[in-house]
Structure 1
Amino acid sequence: MSVNFKTLKSFVTAVDARSLSAAAQQLRVAQPALSQHIASLEKHFDQKLLVRSNAGVRPTPAGDQLYRHAQLILSHLDQLENDLASRSRGANTVSGPVSVGLATYSTASALSMPLLKAVRDQYPGINLFINDNFGLVLSEMVMTGRMDMAIIYAGAPMKGVTLEPLLSEELFLIAPAGMSLPGSGEGTIPLRALADIDLLLPSRMHLLRRLIDEAFASAGITPNIRAEIESSETLRQAIEARVGATILPAALAGLGSPGAALTVRKIVEPVIRTTISLCIPNHVPMSEQAKVVLGLLRAQIAQLFAAGLDTGIGAPAKESSSTN
């Protein structure tokens, strides 16, 4: 036995599970058989692919490279099986799984419910999976074929994916209702006025956090960061509980408890702006069901522009930004 779909599936499952015994249970095979699959791959490539320890298994650098390629190969096989199954059910039937990623905190996250409803009503055979996560996580999943498309914070070119700028989004101070804030500008607040405010921000892994840190550094200010929170729901609840304020897109203020109004002020001097882009693979053919969902997603974005954009949202910015 050398390289085939079964051995690649065994290897990917072992890496995902971080345990040979757990992977064997998922695959419903004996652990010695799974170990034989891994050994055959290591013999074929003449590379050690997994490091085994009491804590489980983890891929070596060569294993990481094989893992990325194996994911693409297996995703192509899954797509082929779905396409052929759809054809056997009839040319007019569109069905199968489709995965869509939406970057945490973005205005685009508001598209999730309309997209779910549109897919349910128009294409009940499609099984839609929506992932709200970091842009770096989502773009990596798109690049490796584990996700069909994503809307992320990104403007600069990225290897392995195609980016289509959709929106320009500004960041706002979002604070508890009635919080005493410095500055006299109605609806705006200069960045320098935030030096003494307790802030709740995303972690440094996030593009928005990097943009915020760069803005404070350029102004010569050290922000008072009380906590780092990645969950938009937890962050909103913390603001409502008056733990602190945040700097994020204004869309966050529209989430959460009804009647729990928040104070929203546009940050100026400088304005902090980023780009939201559609991310699709540039080397993996898109399935028929994914093309259908992409069409629905584009239609919703067009409706967003036609209905009038929310505060701080505009056409894509000309300047590029890195990915979160």
Structure 2
Amino acid sequence: MNLRRLKYFVTIVDIGSLTQAAEVLHIAQPALSQQVATLEGEMDQQLLIRTKRGVTPTEAGKILYTHARTILRQCEQAQLAVGNVGQTLGGQVSIGLAPGTAASSITLPLLQAVRAQLPDVLVYLHENSSADLNDQLLSGKLDMAVLYDRSPTVGIVSQPLLKEELFLVGTRGCPGQAVDLCAVAEMKLFLPRNYSAVRKRVDEAFSLRRLTAKFIEEIDAIPTLTAVIASGMGVTVLPESAAQSLVSSANGWMARITNPALNLSLAVNLSARAGLSPQAQAVKDILMSLIVRPLQENRELLLVG
């Protein structure tokens, strides 16, 4: 087993076609098929299933794919680390952001800070659900991800940043600075689907109080949710940072939920198998400082007000 063969295998799985992979890799398809056959012989396992629609990995292939991504990424990081000795940091850093997290509000400041402090580093930002972001961390497609995740995931190291309180947000009929969870259950609620961390926390709170919520629609996209709440059709529940953003754009109100108060832990997730490259560590340091500082300042303003 060698690195070139692993690279071929990863490319085939990513593209899902031997023919297209051969074109991307600039290698004849029969030669690429032979490389796969050699790899399967070394593993003593069938790694790919060939169909008329393309190729998909077997269970053994999925396991090898995950390890191969990690191996190739570590080799790339080793080359970059050696090449960067005595030089400024450079290369690409991939960051995943869960929609509605505090990290979403610092995207522009992050890019500006990286451009100022690390001009040779290219940042790739990817927004997706927490589950998908963790999968991409495990496969080596992302360096880090910022998300609300309350359950441990095998192969993921989670570094807590802070806890954000959940707020009720709307544009009509403000209930005041605080609202009881029982009152929330009587309102027309628009929330993400049940795989989101916010939805899971809200459902858990309703269940513990034996309440039944009036869910009108399930909306994952923040722009759509903002438009719906701005129209006055109902209310939603969001972490503090996302709530402040929606209130600002929709000219609405936000109320702290009580009995019980609800909160979520914001964390930076990393792969337990692949260490961060020097440039990724530098970007992570900038990211963490930008996330924590604005939220602390916003809380101070709210307390003063």
Normalized against structure 1, the TM-score is what? 0.83
CA distance in 2, matches of 1:222, 1:50: 47
1:201 to 191, 209, 217: 191
Cα gap change, 1:107 to 1:312, in 2 (>3 Å): farther
Q: Write the deviation string for residues 70-126 of structure 1: whole angstroms up to 9, x where unpaired.
A: 110111122123233334xxx131111112222221123222221111110111100
The 1:77–1:166 alpha-carbon spacing in structure 2 relative to 1, beyond 3 Å, is: same
Partner Cα distance (1:252, 1:200) in 2? 14
Contact conserved, 1:233 with 1:256, CA < 8 A, in 2? no
The 3 A distance-change label for structure 1 pair 237 and 52 is farther
Q: Percent identity?
A: 35
User: Residues 38 and 201 (structure 1 numbering): CA distance in 2 closer, same or farther, change over 3 Å?
Assistant: farther
In the alignment, is residue 294 of structure 1 matched against residue 274 of structure 2?
no
Q: 1:236 aligns with which of 189, 201, 226?
A: 226
For residue 268 of structure 1, what is the aligned residue in structure 2?
258
Q: Does the 8 Å CA contact 1:51/1:60 hold for their aligned counterparts?
A: yes
The one-letter amino acid of 1:99's match is S
Q: What are the within-5 Å matches in structure 2 for residues 71-220 of structure 1?
A: 71-87=69-85, 91-155=86-150, 157-175=152-170, 177-178=171-172, 180=173, 186-220=176-210
**Residues 183-240 of structure 1 deviation map (CA, whole Å, 9 limit, x = unaligned):** x5x2122222233433222122222221111112222233232322222222212222
The answer as to 2:5 corresponding to 1:11 is no
Contact 2:93–2:121 (CA under 8 A) maintained in structure 1: yes
Query: Any idea what SS the aligned residue of 2:299 has?
Result: coil
Q: Partners in 1 of 2:290 and 2:224 — Cα distance? A: 27
Judge which range, 220-229 or 299-308, deviates more. Answer: 299-308
Shift, 1:162, TM fit: 2.5
For 1:5 and 1:312, how far apart are their aligned partners in 2?
A: 54
Which letter maps to 1:263?
W
Distance (whole Å) between structure 2 residues aligned to residue 257 and residue 194 of structure 1: 18
Partner of 1:303: 293
Q: Could you say which residue in structure 1 is the equivalent of 2:216?
A: 226
The superposition leaves residues 252-285 of structure 1 with CA deviations (integer Å, 9 ceiling, x where unpaired) of: 2444697631232222222221111122333323
Number of aligned residue pairs: 303
**Structure 2 portions without partners, runs of 5+:** none
Instruction: Check the 8 A contact 2:181/2:259 in 1, yes or no.
Output: yes
Flag the 1:149–1:197 CA change in 2: closer, same or farther, 3 A. same
| Corresponding residue number in structure 1 for 2:30 | 32
What's the secondary structure of 1:294's corresponding residue?
Answer: helix
Letter in 2 for 1:78: E
Instruction: Determine the C-alpha separation between the residues in 2 that align with 1:221 and 1:146.
Output: 41
Which ranges in structure 1 are unaligned for 5 or more consecutive residues? 314-324
Q: 1:40 to 1:311 in 2, by over 3 A?
A: farther
The one-letter code matched in structure 1 to 2:273 is H
Q: Is the 8 A contact 1:250 1:311 kept in 2?
A: no
After TM superposition, the score normalised by the length of structure 2 is: 0.88
Could you say what secondary structure the match of 2:88 adopts?
Answer: coil
Report whether the alignment pairs 1:59 with 2:57: yes
Q: Deviations over 1:35-55 (max 9, x none)?
A: 222222222212122222233
Mapped partners of 1:47, 1:68: distance in 2: 16
Distance 1:28 1:232, change over 3 A: farther
Range moving further from structure 2, 63-72 or 229-238: 229-238
* 1:306 CA displacement: 5.8
1:286 is displaced (CA, Å) by 2.0
Kindly indicate which of the two structures has a greater share of residues assigned to helix: 2
Q: Distance in 2 between matches of 1:239 and 1:56?
A: 44
